[in-house]
Structure 1
Amino acid sequence: MKMEVHIVSREVIKPSSPEVQLKKPYKLSLFDQLTPTTYSTVIFFYRMHDVNSDDITRAKIDRYKKSLSETLNIFYHLSGRVKGNLFIDSFNEGVPYIEAQVNCRLSDFLKHNEIESLNRFLPRQPFTKEAMEAPPLALQFNVFTCGGLAIAGAASHKIVDGATSKALFSTWASISRGDGDDIKQPDFEQASLFFPPRDSIPQSHLSLMETLWFTEGNYITRRFVFNAKAIATFKAMAIAGKPGVKTSRIQALTCFIWKSFIAASRAALDSPKPSILVEAVDLRSRTKPPMSYDSTGNAFWWATAFVNPMGTKTQLPELVETLNAATALYETDYTQTLQGEDGFETMSEYCNQLEELFSLEKPDIFAFTCWSYLGFTETNFGWGEPFWVALMGKVGPAFRNLTVLIETRDGRGIEAWITLDEKRMAILERDPEFLAFASPNPRIVLAGIAVTILSSTRILTWDSLSKCQEFIGFQSLLYELELHVYRPGISAKSAAIDQKDESLPKASSRASSLRIPLSKNPTNPIFFCSKSYPTAPLNPAIVNPFFSAQPSLQKTYLLQPNNLPKIIPQPRSKSTSAPSLHKSSVIERARGVMAVGGGELRQWVDKRMKDSYPVEVAERMLLLGFETWT
């Protein structure tokens, strides 16, 4: 089935307070002036937590729009327009807002997960040259037929960097869910005071910046996921045999990817060009005195690392040393030379050096930026945190090689969104060394979360539980259970406690429940927890918000977000007569239960199994759930 996104409405959202019009113009900083106008994008995907209805969806949209209008009272400069590359005013111009309907379920989209199709959710084309007067912010609210949501934002890099995006979305989400704790009060003046704008910027500098950002070509964006074990391996390789060398996991991963780019360039070109890595460095904590982290605008610049692709310093340890030296420059007095009225001279020297390099031979430029500190995976507008954060589909026809790093939902892995020219990307996607650590666009699994409390008898559907008052606390229960990881085994009492897996998240001291992932793919977990083993009790403070109101439900639940009819759990029969039993497998029983929408799952317990399913059976049950739902 071809996915289609139909535009339902277009409008402009403006600040709700008329006092915004009295604000003085927002001054650009020197870095704002040098940065081209182009949109960076982000898409937040939310699963359906409620019974799908037009009324509930409409309520979410109304809350979203109202909170946006209130947020623009704070971030009013995003509602204005840039004038003459000097300042922003006309704050009543507003933010373009689009509502769209997607003609499929969210699960259908995730089955295919075609990166290029992500652009259909976006209000603007990502990383394309735009007019300077383009709106600083644009938004699109996409609704799937199941009630799932894809909320997309496009922010102009002319005035919005990573820290500004973090403050914006954190504040907006906080207002939307009625929580004032995360509302930021941005500082609109610091950036222009530390890095004063110029009345006019030399055209040569502006042309150079456009060259750094844009070059004609056929660029392709792909998503690769690196797990915690792979990243730890890169870090160990980077410092092996170098006792005095330190590096971060992000720097190690960045240099591994850079190393793969260099290899692709050697394979693609008869005569490889010099290779330059430019990495975005936030200057807020590096200025003297340090700037506020809530200061707005582009308070970053590029650390520049250079290597000869045909030289000897293209192995991971050498690349890490080269990049560390480039970023360390901003820890010195060099950052201070960028500040104040004299900062323009330092910036001019930087531009002149790059122009000289480009005049000799056009190098390969690979830009990197890290979004793993922005907290996008925690953006909660009032209907839970996103289960996936995506960036973009295909960039414009004129761009550059760019890699954006963002954390996976568990916070341990990294998704690398890599944009390369077509020829290099084709080589990278066949590179065995790269693919030994990188998972190309692994499937995002929305549902099939099975939460099992041993001694189980019932299967309930997601649809039925969403109608229960106790469902409110279920999401926090899942979050807590995810923190407690042990190896599965027939005897959960012993094997689960004794055999830890270092590749999985560490257990937390906040509770002592037992979580056993029964799928090799960490995005397809099945949760087993026990209330009977004294070595792994469920913490009542965590469980009670969901289970306390209905003790009869303290059994087993296989939760599936499907449209099966509502089930009213019935208490177990107190009859003392022997039940009528026949030999059948758990899988057959589960299939029959799902077919009718709920009922008894287990009618007897084999004590030799210590009331625990074998791993293979549990995995098959989970797959059955996936098949039933999809």
Structure 2
Amino acid sequence: MKIDTISKKCIKPSSATPHHLQYFKLSDHHRRFPDHHTNLTFFYPAESIITDHASNFALKSNLLQQSLSQTLTLYYPFAGRFQNEDIIICNDDGILFIEARTDTPLSDFLNQPDPNLMCNIHKHLVPTHADAKAEADAGKTVEISISNGSMILLKFILFGCGGTAISVSISHKITDLASIVTFFRSWSSSCFHVRSSHNTNGLSTDVQIVEPDLNFIGQTITAGPDSTSSAKPVLSYALSGTKSIAKRFFFSPSKIEQLKTKIISAIEKSEQDHQHHYRLSRVDVVVALIWKCALAAASTSKKDGHHNQTFRPSVLLYAMNIRPRIIPPLPETCIGYLACQFYMMVEKESDLELHELANKLVATKAHAKEVGEKFQGDHDQQVGFEAIMKYFEEERIEFMKNLLKKKDVLFYICSSFCRSSLLEADFGWGKPLWVINSSDNENLLINTIVLLDTKVIGAVEVLVTFGEEEMSAFECNEELLQFATVNPNII
């Protein structure tokens, strides 16, 4: 697919950030995270009544840019730059916005997805800092050069049929999935208001602007730009040391119910305490199956040129939103990385049964709830949040100390985007057909599992990334293929 860039701009807040808000100090929790980016691409169908796709695209792009500028006044740290691990300078440098087009129809792109779909999406559609640097090196504009270091990069793409895509790359240091969803809700509601103000009939909209709570990211300070960082990130994710492959698998609602029934039946037949199993979610059962099949693939793949038939202990790192687990719960409009990584471990081959793995997931969620209840009664929710995160950090450190005593442990990283409202992102021309999280093959994190909603209610789409040997064994796993479809058509 050939993509042509139409324009590149740096979108700044419509109102200047007041001087007293210029320096923003991150909380202890946020300082620990490295500044890697989350990539999401939203695909929108063409409007059937529109024939002049180029003019309509230009109109949409103008609406997106105006409403984005207004939205950034509410999210003013997002338009700033990291000075170091501690400080954001909120100087309204803005965010990179790219317009692009391709002659490829959206239907061709989504009807028959090729095996390297996620990589191709990242390669062609996802904006990167290299996009800004190329312009700066060419000396085209000063404005583009300051877009380097942008916390958010956006690309708006026109397809040959009139369909469009909005692709975002956003800093994960100060945002989690809930924050991204809230940002898009604010942006889309602002877009409706801008569209209404341009309407010659004077029509208004009842859509309310979603206002964020930035207090959990950190606080405004008076320190100048000579501030130095005293904190170093303690969380990092290793890139694959071998060539990795990302593939997608689809679980229909009926197959998920079959899988859940199978797991519950196994729990009821076991002699173990199964007090949690009736709360099994679709995510729990799908993750359990993926984890089991991944371990089976790892045990049959080659290691050092020889087939490895030996069981290896495994750790699953599972990211969980903390907002609903604080009492009283925090609203989803609280912005920041308000999530925690929980570790689950399989130490014995006898623990590889599906119901065992599913119960580990449910028990971990129950533990998170218990910790939230432990800090119930804190009048300051920010203090309560920091206390909970400190508690989990101490647990994590203790877990890692014990883990260091073990050898040859398989790590998996899992994130669920289900029930996140990503498919509700409507800017005035309908909801997206599909939303995808993507990375390129050169920067794939090894052994990752990402779950997303689809247009089919109750279904789950799973993106997995493994080494070539593991993926070859994984995608042929008979138990997996009883419940999952490999890389089906998207529309």
Normalised-by-shorter TM-score class: 0.7 to 0.9
Shift of 1:335: 7.7
- 2:318 corresponds in structure 1 to 279
Shift of 1:287: 2.3
1:320 aligned onto 2:325: no
Tell me the alpha carbon deviations over residues 480-524 of structure 1, each in whole angstroms, 9 at most, x when there is no partner: xxxxxxxxxxxxxxxxxxxxxxxxxxxxxxxxxxxxxxxxxxxxx
1:37 aligned onto 2:35: yes
Q: Measure the CA separation in 2 of the matches of 1:76 and 1:181.
A: 22
Q: Measure the CA separation in 2 of the matches of 1:180 and 1:172.
A: 15
TM score, norm. by length of structure 1: 0.63
Shift of 1:367: 1.5
1:294 aligned onto 2:337: no
- 2:209 corresponds in structure 1 to 183
Q: Measure the CA separation in 1 of the matches of 2:388 and 2:284.
A: 31
Letter in 2 for 1:387: L
- 2:2 corresponds in structure 1 to 4
Shift of 1:20: 5.2
CA gap of 1:40–1:125, structure 2 versus 1, over 3 A, is: farther
CA gap of 1:314–1:162, structure 2 versus 1, over 3 A, is: same
- 1:221 corresponds in structure 2 to 246
Which of 433, 440, 443 is the equivalent residue of 1:387?
433
CA contact (8 A) 2:40 2:168 kept: yes
Letter in 2 for 1:87: I
CA gap of 1:274–1:125, structure 2 versus 1, over 3 A, is: farther
CA gap of 1:200–1:233, structure 2 versus 1, over 3 A, is: farther
Letter in 1 for 2:282: R
CA gap of 1:32–1:45, structure 2 versus 1, over 3 A, is: same
- 2:281 corresponds in structure 1 to 248
CA gap of 1:148–1:192, structure 2 versus 1, over 3 A, is: same
- 2:70 corresponds in structure 1 to 70
1:158-197 equivalences in 2 (<5 Å): 158-178=173-193, 179=205, 181-190=207-216, 192=218
Shift of 1:345: 6.9
Q: Measure the CA separation in 1 of the matches of 2:454 and 2:387.
A: 41
SS in 2 for 1:259: helix
- 2:94 corresponds in structure 1 to 94
TM score, norm. by length of structure 2: 0.80
CA gap of 1:134–1:284, structure 2 versus 1, over 3 A, is: same
Letter in 1 for 2:125: F
Q: Measure the CA separation in 2 of the matches of 1:369 and 1:416.
A: 10
Shift of 1:358: 3.2
CA contact (8 A) 2:217 2:336 kept: yes
Identity of aligned residues (%): 26
Shift of 1:103: 2.7
1:23 aligned onto 2:28: no
Q: Measure the CA separation in 2 of the matches of 1:125 and 1:320.
A: 40
1:117 aligned onto 2:125: no
Q: Measure the CA separation in 2 of the matches of 1:335 and 1:395.
A: 42
Which of 428, 437, 441 is the equivalent residue of 2:474?
428
Q: Measure the CA separation in 1 of the matches of 2:44 and 2:284.
A: 31
Q: Measure the CA separation in 2 of the matches of 1:170 and 1:26.
A: 24
Tell me the alpha carbon deviations over residues 366-390 of structure 1, each in whole angstroms, 9 at most, x when there is no partner: 1111111221111111111111212
CA contact (8 A) 2:191 2:428 kept: yes
- 1:51 corresponds in structure 2 to 51
Letter in 2 for 1:175: S
Letter in 2 for 1:118: I
- 2:299 corresponds in structure 1 to 266
Q: List structure 1 segments (4+ residues) > 6 angstroms apart after TM superposition.
A: none
SS in 2 for 1:216: coil
CA contact (8 A) 1:28 1:297 kept: no
Letter in 2 for 1:113: P
1:399 aligned onto 2:445: yes
Letter in 2 for 1:186: P
Greater Cα shift, 44-53 or 174-183: 174-183
Tell me the alpha carbon deviations over residues 560-617 of structure 1, each in whole angstroms, 9 at most, x when there is no partner: xxxxxxxxxxxxxxxxxxxxxxxxxxxxxxxxxxxxxxxxxxxxxxxxxxxxxxxxxx
- 1:135 corresponds in structure 2 to 150
Letter in 2 for 1:263: A
CA gap of 1:343–1:48, structure 2 versus 1, over 3 A, is: closer
1:200 aligned onto 2:200: no
Shift of 1:422: 2.1
SS in 2 for 1:319: helix
Q: Which has the higher contact order (CA 8 A, sep 6+)?
A: 2
Shift of 1:295: 0.9
Q: Measure the CA separation in 2 of the matches of 1:343 and 1:161.
A: 15
Q: Measure the CA separation in 2 of the matches of 1:139 and 1:316.
A: 40
CA contact (8 A) 1:190 1:291 kept: no
Which of 253, 256, 267 is the equivalent residue of 1:231?
256
- 1:574 corresponds in structure 2 to none
Shift of 1:421: 2.1
Shift of 1:301: 0.4
Greater Cα shift, 171-180 or 367-376: 171-180
- 1:153 corresponds in structure 2 to 168
Letter in 2 for 1:399: L
Shift of 1:392: 1.5
CA contact (8 A) 1:177 1:380 kept: no
Letter in 2 for 1:85: E
- 2:368 corresponds in structure 1 to 330
- Structure having the higher Rg: 1
CA gap of 1:372–1:41, structure 2 versus 1, over 3 A, is: same
- 2:346 corresponds in structure 1 to 307
Shift of 1:223: 1.2
Shift of 1:360: 3.0
SS in 2 for 1:361: coil
Q: Measure the CA separation in 2 of the matches of 1:398 and 1:44.
A: 20
CA contact (8 A) 1:31 1:300 kept: no
CA contact (8 A) 2:311 2:349 kept: no
CA contact (8 A) 1:125 1:395 kept: no
Structure 2 gaps, min length 5: 131-147, 194-204, 220-227, 269-273, 302-307, 376-383
- 2:200 corresponds in structure 1 to none
CA gap of 1:82–1:336, structure 2 versus 1, over 3 A, is: farther
Letter in 2 for 1:285: P
Q: CA RMSD in A?
A: 2.6
1:530-549 equivalences in 2 (<5 Å): none
Q: Measure the CA separation in 2 of the matches of 1:60 and 1:138.
A: 18
CA contact (8 A) 2:24 2:90 kept: no
Tell me the alpha carbon deviations over residues 84-143 of structure 1, each in whole angstroms, 9 at most, x when there is no partner: 2113123411111111111322222234423132111100389xxxxxx93221100111
Shift of 1:298: 0.7
CA contact (8 A) 1:367 1:402 kept: yes
SS in 1 for 2:318: strand
CA gap of 1:200–1:326, structure 2 versus 1, over 3 A, is: farther
Q: Measure the CA separation in 2 of the matches of 1:9 and 1:387.
A: 25
CA gap of 1:440–1:343, structure 2 versus 1, over 3 A, is: closer
CA contact (8 A) 1:283 1:335 kept: no
